[in-house]
Structure 1
Amino acid sequence: MTARLLEARELTVTANGQHLVHAVSLSVAAGDRLAIIGPNGAGKTTLLRMLSGALQPSTGEVRFLGRRLDRISTAERALHIAVVGQTDQPDPRLAVIDYVELGRVPHAGLRRRHEDRDIVVDALRRTGLLPLLGRTVGSLSGGERQRAQLARAIAQQPRILFLDEPTNHLDPRARSELLELVAGFGMTVIAVLHDLSLVAPFATRVAVMSRARLHALAAPNEALTQQLIREIFGVDVLRLRHPTEDRELTIFDIPNRTSSPS
């Protein structure tokens, strides 16, 4: 049986008398890539923040390797958990290599300086940014900046990588390439994703949120069913053979709501 790396038990957050997340329980094993999906306001980012320790639940608990996450110090959590958020705003004046080296801050005193630099260079190599290490963060494109944020997180050497809608503001090709890159790291990842077409190629498991509740937690082919996607998102799932390649296409289509003439 695969050991649980992270476990959430009956997580609930209440604000102004309303549930933002209600009674969510799930577990994540080492090597899982869990995609959290759902409509706007479903509680996805709130759940992610609780799982990463950034937000304390009103009730319930999160355990990391059997220990309550809220009883692990911030400094110790930073040795195991890395977060790439939607609103991260790196100092645009920083050189890329210096920005990525910030991922080594939690490990200060644990390794010699030259070992830190080797880890940073490896993170830049893995994200394809080694040729840009001397550039400033402000000179990077949107996709390059996202890769720099990933490189910083990889340099942190976490047990779990949390991503909050990492493909926002990227073009379709860059979105797919970014998630393909993350999947290739072989890390445990928990990611909030907005684009449903990206979920199945990336995730090993999917958590479907709606109205603050967890409606499904399963492998992509079991979670992205026509019935559930129609119910939660109001769109149809169409699976078609690719016209020129030996693979299946999954298309999410908005149903035609135009009434037929009487």
Structure 2
Amino acid sequence: MFTLHGKTALVTGGASGIGLAISQTFAKAGATVHILEINASQAQQVAEAITADGGRAFAHAVDISRQADVLEVVGKIVAEGPIHILVNNAGIAHIGTAESTTEADFDRIVSVNIKGVYNCLHAVIPHLKANGGGVILNMASVAATIGIPDRFAYSMSKGAVLTMTLSVAKDYLKHNIRCNCISPARVHTPFVDGFLAKNYPGREEEMFAKLAATQPIGRMAKPSEIGALALYLCSDEAGFITGCDYPIDGGFTRLNN
């Protein structure tokens, strides 16, 4: 079950954190994985590690906020064969309220978290249509549907990802394209460790415990757990699922009362 043998998957931000787990999980399930990353050397290292482990992966340096760059990379990939899966995972975080968020910060979030997703959808959907269908999985967040303090721009961007998911799912039903999104709560990635080290030096363990406790289940998610859900939603076994948002949140959305 949950095999991706014979499938080609594009994973944006696929060389770190959740994206890395998705790239590794998909490769183990038999997919040929194309990692689209702004960090070229990191992407290459991950692709080489996956290949050394018996999988198939390729690295592509691309800034998803630049549509011409995305179109160029997607064109090169399609020239080698059809695309079956797109995972829009790349994104950036921001802390701030509507009052404290600068215009530059706001524009940066929009360019990556919203426009970047749009650019990839715009580039890949025509090829999925031409190939008779496919699967799109977007990475949203519990912040798309729950009020979280000091996450104004980030929450806005993830709300846009959620509604883009619904729109694409509706528009491409007749083209056999499924589109869903995943909404994680806190996931223990290197970003979390870096955030704590930067903002709470000397208090990392204390603050990590506090952040972990905000999930009723009592811990943060592992990236591999997000990867496992992504694998299911992109597999043929999930063929009846489209237009859905999947909170994977340790009870954060429903049980924090």
**Same fold? TM cut 0.5:** no
More strand by proportion, 1 or 2? 1
More helix by proportion, 1 or 2? 2
| TM-score of the superposed pair, with normalisation by structure 2 | 0.31
With CA pairs under 8 Å and 6+ residues apart, which has the higher RCO, 1 or 2?
Answer: 1
Bigger-Rg structure (1/2): 1
| TM-score of the superposed pair, with normalisation by structure 1 | 0.31
